Amino acid sequence: MKYNHYKEKFPIIDGVLLEADIDEQYCLSFVFKGDYHIHIRDEKDPEKRYQPKHPDGSKAWVDCEDGKTYIIEVDEDPVLEAERRKNSKPIQFYKPEENIKKNNRIDGITN
């Protein structure tokens, strides 16, 4: 399983991969709040289709194959994501020429 820069192995039993195993290692439930959704997909699938969830509604994926590499993708809670974006401030880039005091020592170092 790959998530961001992490790459770990997880047990697949009878083609089933448990979300709890992934969460125990990557702590996604600590990072993502609300109604987020975790998806996995085969790294080599050109169509980037998600693995099917377990039909009984449990937090698990079926039809997983041992030895394949899967990518983890997370859809954040849309309400919380909209709130975060609303409250975030745009990035202000540092402009050194506006904040540097002019004196001979600084000019000498710069030269």
36 domain residue, yes or no: yes
pLDDT digits (tens, 9 = 90+) for 52-105: 999 998 899 999 999 999 999 999 999 988 888 888 887 777 666 666 566 777
The encoded tokens of residue 10 equal 């997880």
**Does residue 19 have a pLDDT over 80?**
yes
64 falls within a domain: yes
Q: What is the per-residue pLDDT across 42-63, written as a single tens digit (0 to 9) for each? A: 999 999 999 999 999 889 999 9
Separation of alpha carbons 35 and 30, rounded Å: 13
Q: Specify if 99 maps to a domain.
A: no
Q: Residue 50: inside a domain, yes or no?
A: yes
Has residue 110 got a pLDDT over 80?
no
- Under DSSP, the state recorded for 99 is H
CB atoms closer than 10 angstroms to residue 27 = 10
Residue 85 lies in a domain: no
User: What residues make up the domain containing 23?
Assistant: 2-79
